[in-house]
Chains A and B, each alone.
Chain A
Amino acid sequence: MKKLKMIKELPLIIILVLISIVITIINPSFLTVENFLDLLKSNLVLTMMAMGMLLVILTGGIDVSVASMITAVTVIIGNSLIHFSQNILVTVLLATLCGVILGLINGLLITGLKIPPIVATLGTMSMILGIVLYVTNGNWITGIPQNFIDFGRIMILPKTLADGRVIGIPIQIIFLLPIIILTWFVLKHTVIGRGIYALGGNLESADRMGFKTNRIIVFVYAFEGFIIGLSAVAHTSIMRQVDPNAFLGFEMQVIAAVVLGGASVLGGYGSVLGTIIGVALFSVINNGMILMRIPTFWQKIVVGLIIISSISADMIQKQREEHLKVRVDVDEVASYEA
């Protein structure tokens, strides 16, 4: 069983390695510690948000409001840092609280009023973004306190390069790692995790098996909100200012990364490792295109083609397996008759 699961993510890893080799041949600066640290820093928020989206997609849902949610939380903590408290712990608490509340709203609309996830989150997206843009008027929030900026600049295991620059693991990893481990733990080792997979496979049978499906769904959206809160803190500490338009269209990137990582939008299928590889694929492709000096206009074409072709390849593979199964059955019947 364990071996089978290893094999499932293998094609993705092979694609990732192949793409990396091609990029390295064209531009050797891809395969440097510095570039990988850059990649880590610039895709940290995407990875965190993908963890939350993974849980939602596993239940067979979808959340298109994530970009508006993180925008709202960054605006709130940006203002709080300037006008209320410069304490980092307070900021983290406030951010996660806001995230959880927004997530709970989505979860309750979906379970309480039985509104399909895509429509409910479409509605909340429209409202949240509308309010945020009305309040901020689309203006940037600058003047984040120095202690928060200093916090964001901390590096773990810093190393001075020959040319005097200092590189190191960004401090924001203290948000990323716990989230990855927590998501993995919830999915693998808790009853809720079993429930998430079960209700993504089939809601009614999960209900009959005794899973409290409504509670699980509300938990998933609230957990996603919690992750978004932490992502907002990580993002603000990296960018050192708040741009209400920074996340325009970001929900599509998050969904695409999760799906690239092999999760099925129909629910019940997907893993933490797969999602991490999905994000890695997504970010390596984007980074590689910059390193290979491909005009930015091409990037969307390549990303779109990769999404479609990778999922198509997956579907064709499945259809073939299905086809083989049928043939085996027929052969068996034939042999019985003989």
Chain B
Amino acid sequence: MKLKIKGLIATKEGILFIIFLAVVAIMTILSPSKFLSNYNLQSLAYQLPEFGILSLSMMLIIITGGINLSLTFSATLAMIVGGLAMSSVFANTGGAFLALVIGVALMLVVAALAGIFNGFVVSYIGVTPMIATLGAATLFEGISLNITKGGAISGFPLSFIMIGNTAILGIPVPMLIFVVILILMWLLIEKSKMGAAIIMIGCNPKVAEFSGIKVKNVLFKAYMISGLLAGVAGVIMASRYNSAKESYGSSYLLQSVAASVLGGTSISGGEGRVVGTLLAAMILQVISSGLNIFGLNRYLTNVLMGFILIFVLAINFVTEKFKKN
């Protein structure tokens, strides 16, 4: 038992898990009736997937040594284009199933296209990821605004709204989607050849190139997958909110970077684990919704989020220095 605990503390994920337990424990002690209430646990289970998926998407790009500032705007562009098609098909033909299939498919396709656009500019043209995706973010937001004219798109069939708001055997559908994506991402990053290539590119793109990795090709695919994941998050968000708008999920952009970094992903690339990001996303989600039910001002929650980000990095720095000594 002692050995196990030592082993747990030795890894970054172990420390994160302990922090997670501590956060849950503190919340429970502070207000067991509120925090452990069915309502709160339910809303946690419905909110975590969209944030978790976006965090995984961000992590994938950060591992390559980049950053995807267009992440949430890809998601909203996808949900707006797909949502528009879905609501008009539903209104014109009344076929709920047809509208659902067309809408969801279009959301995923548009998101993948957004990823392809980023991937092309970053890998084949060679623009720095931060600038390429910053430009793309503005572009996607502009296109979204042009479609919605600042309003929201609604009128979705009930079957679509069910995706984000029902549970199978007590487990919310978004959670099921999240679990599937977690497994797929774990297989991709930690078990596949492409994952190894992505990590190598993040460590040193030149060395990767010389060791026979098709850097441009792999990067391109990574951005496409990142876009596709944003699309999945977009589907969940549009379905949960029963509408589509360009500003949805915009707070997730910086939070997803925070979750990746907290989860042990190196911001300069080449390092990152799915479990770490999952735990970090869970910690952030528990803190933000916990503070929310305690009635803490949401602006102060932001202050705390920023503090946690810097605090954890400071701890990392100190422990690493300690280890070196």
Contacts and interface: CB of A to CB of B under 8 A. Distances in A.
Nearest to A109: B310
Nearest to B255: A126
A134 B299 contact: yes
Nearest to A301: B142
B305 interface: yes
B250 to A, nearest CB: 9
Nearest first, the 9 closest Cβ-Cβ pairs linking A and B are A304-B139, A300-B142, A126-B306, A301-B142, A130-B302, A304-B138, A130-B303, A307-B135, A127-B306
Interface of A: 62, 109, 113-116, 118-120, 122-127, 129-131, 133-134, 252, 255-256, 259, 264-266, 295, 297-305, 307-308, 311-312, 315-316, 318-319
Contact of A307 (B131, B141, B254): B131
B179 to A, nearest CB: 28
A315 B131 contact: no
B283 to A, nearest CB: 15
Contacts of A120: 310, 313
Contacts of B145: 297, 300
Contacts of B121: 308, 312
Nearest to B318: A113
Interface in B212-258: 254, 257-258
Contacts of A124: 306, 310
A266 B299 CA distance: 33
25 contacts: A62-B130, A113-B314, A114-B317, A119-B267, A119-B309, A120-B310, A122-B258, A123-B313, A126-B303, A127-B310, A130-B302, A259-B134, A295-B146, A300-B138, A300-B142, A300-B145, A303-B138, A304-B140, A304-B142, A307-B138, A308-B121, A308-B136, A308-B139, A311-B128, A315-B126
Contacts of A301: 138-139, 142-143, 146
Given A122-B254, A312-B127, A315-B126, A127 B139 contact: no
B303 A131 contact: yes
B127 A311 contact: yes
Given A123-B309, A298-B142, A315-B125, A256 B134 contact: yes
Nearest to B139: A304
B149 interface: yes
Contacts of B132: 308, 311
Nearest to A265: B128
Interface of A is mostly: helix
B294 interface: no
A115 B67 contact: no
B135 A304 contact: yes
A332 B178 CA distance: 58
B97 interface: no
B42 interface: no
Nearest to B125: A312
B165 interface: no
B301 A130 contact: yes
B128 A119 contact: no
Give the interface centre of B135, B136, B150, B257 by most chain A CB atoms within 10 Å: B135
Contacts of A109: 310
A264 B128 CA distance: 9
Nearest to A125: B306
Interface string B271-303: 000000000000000000000000001011111
Given A120-B310, A130-B301, A304 B136 contact: yes
B142 A299 contact: yes
A308 B129 CA distance: 11
Given A114-B317, A300-B139, A126 B309 contact: yes
A71 B313 CA distance: 26
A304 B137 contact: yes
Contacts of A316: 125
A259 B310 contact: no
Nearest to A300: B142
Contacts of A122: 254, 257-258, 306, 309
Contacts of A134: 297, 299-300, 303
Contacts of B307: 123, 127
B31 interface: no
A312 to B, nearest CB: 5
Contact of B131 (A116, A123, A295, A311): A311
A308 B135 contact: yes
A303 B143 CA distance: 12
Interface string B103-145: 0000000000000000001000111101110111111111101
Contact of A126 (B142, B261, B302, B313): B302
A118 B67 CA distance: 10
A259 to B, nearest CB: 5
Nearest to B132: A308
B306 A130 contact: yes
B127 A126 contact: no
B39 to A, nearest CB: 26
Contacts of B136: 304, 308
A308 to B, nearest CB: 4
Contact of B303 (A116, A127, A256): A127
Most chain A C-beta atoms within 10 Å of own C-beta, residue among B134, B268, B300, B305:
B134
Given A113-B317, A303-B142, A304-B139, A265 B309 contact: no
Contacts of B134: 252, 255-256, 259, 307
Interface in B55-100: 67
A319 B125 CA distance: 9
Given A122-B258, A134-B299, 19 more contacts: A116-B267, A119-B267, A122-B257, A125-B254, A126-B303, A126-B305, A127-B302, A130-B302, A133-B302, A265-B131, A295-B146, A300-B145, A304-B138, A307-B138, A308-B121, A308-B132, A308-B139, A311-B131, A312-B125
Nearest to B251: A126
B135 A297 contact: no
